[in-house]
Structure 1
Amino acid sequence: MAGKSGRSINNVPESSVKRMIFSWEGILVLIFIAVNIFCAMFSEFYNISSLLRQMPVYLAEVFLMLPMAYILVLGEIDISVGSSVCLSATMCCIVCNMNAPFIVVVLTGLAVGTVCGAINGLILTKFTELPPMIVTLATQIIFRGIAEIILGSGGSITMSNLDGFTAIAGKVGQVPYILFLVVILAVIFALVLGKSTFGRRVYAIGTNRLTAYYSGIHVQKIRMIIYTVMGTVSGLCAIFLLSSSFGANTTTGNGFEMDAIAMAVFGGISSTGGKGNIAGGVIAAFIIVCLRVGLGQQNVHAQVILLIIGALLIAAVALPNIIGQVRRTVKSK
């Protein structure tokens, strides 16, 4: 229709399909397809069967991405999660070697991780002037230091009873149990963040913490909950990590925090807070997992794989800015 000015006014909303395709999640799906085509061409051994067989080794880290997304949406960061995994795995092994029932071993791992997360949350909510980067850097050193004291410098521990861990490493057909759990948790975390009042409050805090506070949102309570959940999921990660490694050492969980952050940021979750969703993080996580499996099958050095993931991360951060700049340039002409 035409307005009084004579200009044409388009009142037809943009197609939802078009919006979906050109959204960051839509682009990630295309990247996921491209990565799988590349891996299949690069490695003759890459197929669904080999992917499902090797996937559990990397899926434990995907657990960490889920609560890390919440922390990033808050506009904060937690770099202690790898050390929390290390300490949780170490304590699981010790309790397991005391011939404790498997359920006690699992509860030990979850409890240790939860305590680690609660310590982070308690410090950050009681001393609000302290930056999360510095606090979690300190607890990263402390948690791994405790594990090193227990294991000895460069030490390791192996579990004597593997029955329970062998069971959770099982499969339904070719699909590992851990994949089902990752999908279930991803759906739960996505629904809570995207559809619940709690999730809307998390976004509000990440967008403007002071405004959220004066709007009646219990900012410190929500921060405490999220950091504690981060710790609990770190314990869960440790349990499933043990189902493939059957032991722990002082380097267990090294770099897991960076992987979780990379998955989330690559998935479109803003490190400055207030933006992003779990769906993008999950797609990005599986892109990284597929890359690691495909390149690993051809014995590509782990550092080269890290370089590729780092390049993808830089591209993920830079691309929206480049697209925005191009759009502004086109509009100004």
Structure 2
Amino acid sequence: MAGKSGRSINNVPKSPVKQMIFSWEGILVLLFIAVNIFCANFSEFYNLKSLLRQMPVYLAEIFLMLPMAYILVLGEIDISVGSIVCLSATMACIVSNTGAPFIVVILAALLVGTACGAVNAFVLTQFEELPPMIVTLATQIIFRGIAEIVLGNGGSISVTNTEGFSALGGKVGRIPYILFLVLILGIIAAVILGKCTFGRRVYAIGTNRLAAYYSGIHVQKIRFIIYTLMGTISGLCALFLISSSFGANTTTGNGFEMDAIAMAVFGGISSTGGKGNIVGGLISAFIIVCLRVGLGQRNIHPQVILLIIGVLLIGAVGLPNIVKEIQKKAKMAK
């Protein structure tokens, strides 16, 4: 193709395969493979069978990553989710112990979670000047405080009828139900965020909220929906936690908000908003799950595992900036 100057300009499209490999998601896939090879060599007990057996304990947290990704794309944060999980689990156990049908127990957990999410949503949309971190820090304390008051001096509760929760924690062959649900919800969340009008509006709000508002997007309505949905998914997470422990206590859900944020950010979702996708978040979540299972089999202290995940998270945040600096210096050198 000839430009106005008469010079020939070659239009060479980038190779889609090369583009995919060098994308953040491509790098995460390679890291996922590397982590599994490392764990298989590090622990003699690490294999697909043991992974499928132990991963349900950690998979419940991936539920929280999905709506947390939406909140981060908005350029906001919710640190109350661990407390919502705790309160939802507590109320579900109490309802279960009354002898109510299991469907009522499920609805109780989901409704409590939804109500907590709606409280966050109401405060944040009605008082726009309040920072989400401060609001959700306050509700984090309130929700866990309510759970502690309900649980009383014992600080814990066990379900007397475990039949429904045992069914919820069941398997198809060796594959746990929760894995199917995580993947189904992950695909739905990825399609909505990446392909639907709602998702495009979420990105627009995260990129520039004022511009999104003046372009006709119902900013507060979308924020309300996402924060409320965060609560609903927290209730779902609580149900699967009970299916593995058959109870709840005052520490249930501790640190889940940080795990959900770490999975999302490590997956390439920007904490400043307007960037990232669910696919990266899902891959990073499974990397973290595999690391926890593999290192846990060799009795590595949980705090050391958290330290390793923290280093990976810092690397995930810092690597794009380092690459940009290298590219910038390379252009200047030319």
TM-score range, shorter chain: over 0.9
What amino acid sits opposite 1:145 in the alignment? G
What amino acid sits opposite 1:106 in the alignment? I
166-175 or 140-149: which moved more? 166-175
8 Å Cα contact 1:154-1:250 kept in structure 2: no
**What is aligned with 2:243?**
243
The answer to whether structure 1 residue 9 and structure 2 residue 6 are counterparts is no
**What is aligned with 2:106?**
106
What amino acid sits opposite 2:74 in the alignment? L
Tell me the alpha carbon deviations over residues 104-158 of structure 1, each in whole angstroms, 9 at most, x when there is no partner. Answer: 0000000000000000000000000000000000000000000000112561000
8 Å Cα contact 1:3-1:9 kept in structure 2: yes
Q: CA deviation at 1:12?
A: 1.8
CA distance in 2, matches of 1:301, 1:317: 25
CA distance in 2, matches of 1:315, 1:6: 46
| Change over 3 Å in CA distance of 1:331–1:107 after alignment to 2 | same
Count of matched residue positions in the alignment of Structure 1 and Structure 2: 333
Q: CA deviation at 1:168?
A: 1.1
What amino acid sits opposite 1:14 in the alignment? K
The answer to whether structure 1 residue 70 and structure 2 residue 70 are counterparts is yes
**What is aligned with 2:330?**
330
**What is aligned with 1:118?**
118
CA distance in 2, matches of 1:299, 1:86: 27
**What is aligned with 1:27?**
27
Tell me the alpha carbon deviations over residues 232-266 of structure 1, each in whole angstroms, 9 at most, x when there is no partner. Answer: 00000000010001000000000000000000000
Identity, in percent, stands at 80
8 Å Cα contact 1:83-1:143 kept in structure 2: yes
The answer to whether structure 1 residue 94 and structure 2 residue 94 are counterparts is yes
Tell me the alpha carbon deviations over residues 20-48 of structure 1, each in whole angstroms, 9 at most, x when there is no partner. Answer: 10000000000000000000000000000
Superposition pairs of residues 20-169 of structure 1, within 5 angstroms: 20-153=20-153, 155-169=155-169
CA distance in 2, matches of 1:153, 1:255: 22
Q: CA deviation at 1:10?
A: 2.7
Aligned residue for 1:157, secondary structure, equals strand
RMSD: 1.0
8 Å Cα contact 1:148-1:154 kept in structure 2: no
Aligned residue for 1:99, secondary structure, equals coil
Aligned residue for 2:248, secondary structure, equals strand
Q: CA deviation at 1:9?
A: 2.3
4+ long deviations beyond 4 Å: 1-8
CA distance in 2, matches of 1:301, 1:212: 46
